[in-house]
């Protein structure tokens, strides 16, 4: 162990109160689950009442409701008549109808959305401090590092300093490790304990090299080994140490004290398997071993990234556990986040590719006017079409399709589909368009600028910084400008080029120094 790490270990032994753990993360996710469950109960009741009252087969008997129930029904959009003019949903082939707008329900949808726990997923070479800082500044509540190899991390001080770093003041940080044995996982947990808020065991990486090494998705076939690693991590934590901290979870500015668990929360990130019974058994063994929560990716290890997420399978796993379950996969904007939460019952939602495209994808302002004041998008060479959900359209394609060349606003209203039972063949999907809830379909210039300012501080020589900038700013750059930026090797040069192009702005949430 290097001298720097040894000094921190000695400081931890003398004063445990310096831990960055100021929030009980399992309780934060469980609170989000309760908010989703309450909303689902109200929606199901409203849907049953509307369908029973609008059935054409037989006149429905008047349904007695209490005063409180009538108030709740008035605050939610009603389900349209299933037999009215409906369309076919492109994904599932089921009929859907638009719910009538109800502005009195907007505050309840916004309250649900503010209760969700958004998590930035671990991504190879991308979950660097600068990216984590920007995601936290624009809406995520928990951050992940990229996967660390536990064996190398324990043995090599050089690997520790090269692979793991934090920005100043970072909290709610989960470190993901890949381990094959309980002792190695426990040693890595002891080293990382002073610097993070939780440890995640990677049991879902589908890459061939990881499976060949016996880590990642290969561990799905060895639940006993994973349970042993979870127990080893929990047993390595000291007992009887309690740190009191003030709860501060971003939106809730409560000043009351909260007891933070002294142990390092252990999380297991898994993928579903073709045999769902094995997935449920795997999750149960992890829970019995002491996992604080499980993150379930709704695709199998052999599925391509574009495959549909199996929300019903994730929901079944969640219903068979008593610890919280976080959903990973299929969350790309505010609308899909709302739909995924309602379909699975998960209040914790994790996103990877969506945040790479737009680190502010979870940000939802108080109104469209306020979002337009806080965000600027400048000019982009091609037309952006909200119907296409993001992809650019060249002028030639615009002329061929006969669409107007008029530029559209990069802000679009929040809209999502929901039905009580989407697995049923005759399920009616209701499209909810929430008044006064808007989302950015294009990465704002302020977010790109914040990322560059943060990268210059912490990731000045990281080559992936330019690749991430090109992905965020793809709609603002011409092919020649993209090629020019791709050839640059200095982040300072990238910053100067973005300033000349007009993508970089001084405003944002991360200030210049």
Residues labelled catalytic: 205
Distance separating alpha carbons of residues 258 and 234, to the nearest angstrom: 21
Distance separating alpha carbons of residues 47 and 60, to the nearest angstrom: 14
- Cα 364 to chain centroid distance, Å, stands at 14
Distance separating alpha carbons of residues 453 and 260, to the nearest angstrom: 33
Distance separating alpha carbons of residues 69 and 245, to the nearest angstrom: 39
- Half-sphere exposure (CA, 13 Å, Cβ side) for 224? 0
Distance separating alpha carbons of residues 119 and 250, to the nearest angstrom: 13
Distance separating alpha carbons of residues 136 and 250, to the nearest angstrom: 10
Q: Residue 333 in contact with residue 30, Cβ under 8 Å?
A: no
DSSP state of 322: S
Q: Which residues pair with 173 in a beta bridge?
A: 143
Angle between the N-to-C axes of helices 491-501 and 479-486, in degrees from 0 to 180, rounded to the nearest 10: 160
DSSP of 168-231 = TT--SEEEEEE-SSHHHHHHHHHHHGGG-SEEEEEE----HHHHHTT-GGGGGG-HHHHHHHHH
Token pair, residue 255, equals 């000043």
Pairing type for strands 198-203 and 348-351 reads: unpaired
Distance separating alpha carbons of residues 470 and 18, to the nearest angstrom: 38
Distance separating alpha carbons of residues 80 and 95, to the nearest angstrom: 11
Q: Which of 231, 237, 229 is nearest to 201 (CA)?
A: 229
Distance separating alpha carbons of residues 253 and 64, to the nearest angstrom: 40
**What's the first-to-final CA gap in the chain, in angstroms?**
34
Distance separating alpha carbons of residues 108 and 151, to the nearest angstrom: 47
DSSP state of 319: H
Q: Please enumerate in sequence order all residues whose Cβ is within 8 A of that of 289, keeping only pairs 6 or more positions apart, or say none.
A: 226, 227, 228, 230, 231, 234
Q: Please enumerate in sequence order all residues whose Cβ is within 8 A of that of 86, keeping only pairs 6 or more positions apart, or say none.
A: 80, 95, 96, 97, 428
Q: Which residue has the tokens 């994904």?
A: 91
Token pair, residue 292, equals 């604080």
- Cα 287 to chain centroid distance, Å, stands at 22
Angle between the N-to-C axes of helices 223-236 and 182-192, in degrees from 0 to 180, rounded to the nearest 10: 40
Q: Residue 312 in contact with residue 423, Cβ under 8 Å?
A: yes
């Amino acid at each position: 162990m290097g001298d720097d790490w040894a000094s921190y270990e000695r400081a931890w032994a003398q004063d445990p109160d310096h831990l960055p753990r100021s929030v009980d993360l399992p309780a934060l996710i469980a609170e989000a689950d309760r908010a989703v469950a309450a909303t689902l109960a109200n929606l199901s009741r409203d849907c049953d009442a509307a369908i029973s009252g609008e059935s054409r087969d037989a006149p429905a008997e008047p349904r007695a409701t209490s005063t409180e129930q009538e108030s709740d029904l008035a605050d939610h959009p009603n389900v349209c008549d299933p037999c009215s003019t409906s369309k076919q949903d492109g994904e599932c082939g089921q009929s859907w109808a638009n719910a009538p707008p109800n502005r009195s329900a907007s505050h309840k949808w916004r309250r649900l959305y503010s209760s969700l726990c958004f998590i930035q997923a671990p991504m190879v070479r991308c979950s660097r401090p600068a990216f984590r800082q920007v995601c936290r500044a624009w809406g995520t509540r928990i951050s992940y590092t990229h996967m660390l190899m536990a064996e190398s991390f324990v043995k090599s001080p050089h690997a520790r300093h090269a692979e793991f770093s934090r920005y100043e003041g970072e909290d709610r940080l989960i470190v993901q490790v890949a381990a094959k044995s309980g002792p190695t996982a426990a040693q890595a947990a002891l080293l990382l304990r002073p610097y993070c808020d939780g440890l995640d065991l990677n049991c879902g990486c589908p890459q061939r090299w990881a499976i060949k090494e016996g880590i990642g998705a290969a561990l799905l076939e060895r639940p006993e080994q994973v349970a042993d690693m979870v127990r080893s991590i929990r047993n390595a934590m000291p007992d009887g140490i309690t740190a009191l901290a003030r709860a501060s979870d971003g939106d809730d500015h409560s000043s009351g004290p909260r007891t933070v668990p002294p142990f390092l929360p252990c999380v297991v990130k898994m993928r579903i398997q073709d045999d769902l019974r094995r997935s449920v058994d795997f999750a149960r063994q992890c829970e019995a071993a002491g996992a604080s929560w499980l993150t379930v990716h709704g695709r199998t290890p052999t599925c391509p990234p574009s495959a549909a997420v199996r929300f019903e399978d994730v929901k079944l796993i969640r219903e068979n556990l008593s610890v919280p379950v976080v959903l990973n996969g299929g969350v790309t904007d505010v609308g899909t986040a709302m739909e995924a939460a309602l379909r699975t019952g998960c209040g914790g939602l994790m996103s990877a590719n969506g945040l790479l495209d737009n680190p502010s994808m979870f940000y939802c302002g108080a109104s469209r006017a306020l979002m337009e004041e806080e965000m600027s998008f400048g000019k982009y060479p091609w037309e952006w079409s909200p119907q296409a959900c993001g992809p650019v359209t060249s002028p030639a394609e615009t002329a061929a399709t006969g669409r107007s060349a008029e530029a559209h606003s990069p802000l679009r209203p929040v809209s999502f589909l929901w039905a009580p039972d989407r697995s049923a063949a005759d399920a009616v999907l209701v499209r909810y368009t929430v008044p006064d809830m808007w989302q950015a379909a294009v990465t704002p210039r302020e977010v790109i600028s914040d990322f560059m300012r943060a990268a210059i501080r912490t990731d000045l020589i990281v080559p992936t910084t330019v690749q991430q900038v090109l992905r965020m700013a793809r709609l603002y750059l011409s092919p020649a400008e993209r090629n020019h930026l791709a050839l640059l090797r200095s982040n300072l040069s990238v910053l100067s080029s973005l300033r000349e192009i007009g993508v970089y702005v001084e405003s944002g949430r991360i200030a210049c120094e």
